Amino acid sequence: VKELVLDNCRSDDGKIVGLSSDFENLEFLSMINVNLLSVSNLPKLNKLRKLELSDNRISGGLEVLAERTPNLTHLNLSGNKIKDINTLEPL
């Protein structure tokens, strides 16, 4: 699987569930409006290039993205609860 779109699939606990490092060839992942609070349990996805996370409730913890998605070139965080530009510093 190279592209996975999970838009509008609600997350009950605010976390990413069911996505594992088995998706090693994933290049595009879209999780728009899924009620995410955190990306803390995002698996390592070495080939991921584009990540859509708009319209969630993420407010921080973005250092995980830098660690687990080393080839990320496009990231959409619009419509989240990020209040301070310094939150983006780990990226």
Token pair, residue 70, equals: 């080393």
Domain boundaries, the chain: 1-90
pTM of the model: 0.90
The pLDDT, as a whole number, for residue 11 is: 82
The pLDDT, as a whole number, for residue 17 is: 77
The arithmetic mean of pLDDT across residues 43-51, rounded, is: 96
The pLDDT, as a whole number, for residue 91 is: 85
Q: What is the 3-class SS of 1-63, one letter each residue?
A: CCEEECCCCCCCCCCCCCCCCCCCCCCEEECCCCCCCCCCCCCCCCCCCEEECCCCCCCCCCH
pLDDT band at 5 (very low <50, low <70, confident <90, very high): very high
pLDDT band at 62 (very low <50, low <70, confident <90, very high): very high
Of the CATH numbers 3.40.50.1950, 2.120.10.30, 3.80.10.10, 3.40.50.150, which one belongs to the domain with range 1-90? 3.80.10.10
